[in-house]
Amino acid sequence: MKILVTGAAGQLGTALQASLRGHDLVPLGRAALDITRLAAVREVIDAHRPDLVINAAAFNDVDGAESRPEDAYVGNALGPRNLAVATAARKIAVLHVSSDYVFDGTAKQPYTEFDATKPRSAYGRSKLAGEEAVRALNHRHYIVRTAWLFSTVGRNFAKTMCGLADRPEVRVVSDQYGSPTYVPHLADGLARLIETAAYGTYHMAGKGGASWFELTRTLYRHLGIATPVHPVATADFPRPAERPRYSVLTTLQDPAILLPPWEDGVAACARAMQSNAVG
Instruction: Tell me what the mean pLDDT of segment 169-192 comes to.
Output: 97
Say if CB 90 and CB 5 are below 8 A apart.
Answer: no
If one counts every other C-beta atom within 10 angstroms of the C-beta of residue 265, the result is 29
- pLDDT over 90 (residue 196): no
Q: What is the pLDDT of residues 61-106, one digit of tens each?
A: 999 999 999 999 999 999 999 999 999 999 999 999 999 999 999 9
The pLDDT-based confidence of 279 (bands split at 50, 70, 90) is low
Rounded to the nearest angstrom, the gap between the alpha carbon of residue 276 and the centroid of all alpha carbons in its chain is: 23
Residues 6 or more apart whose Cβ sits within 8 Å of residue 47? none
Q: Where are the domains of the chain?
A: 2-150+180-207+249-260
What DSSP character marks residue 74? I
Note if 111 is an active site residue: no
Q: Which of 25-34, 172-181, 238-247, 270-279 has the lowest mean pLDDT?
A: 270-279
What is 226-267 written as a DSSP string? Answer: ---EEEE-GGGS--SSPPPSB--B--SS-GGGPPPBHHHHHH
Catalytic residue among 123, 177, 182, 202: 123
Domain 2-150+180-207+249-260: assigned CATH number? 3.40.50.720
pLDDT range class, residue 278, cuts 50, 70, 90? low
Task: Note the pLDDT tens digit of each residue in 16-25.
Answer: 999 999 999 9
CA atoms of 105 and 101, how far apart (whole Å): 8
CA-CA-CA-CA torsion sign (235, 248, 203, 190): positive
Q: Which pairs count as long-range contacts for 227-230, CB under 8 Å and 24+ apart, including other chains?
A: 227/164, 227/165, 227/166, 227/167, 227/168, 227/169, 227/170, 228/168, 228/169, 228/170, 229/169, 229/170, 229/171, 229/172, 230/169, 230/170, 230/171, 230/172
Q: What 8-state DSSP symbol labels residue 101?
A: G
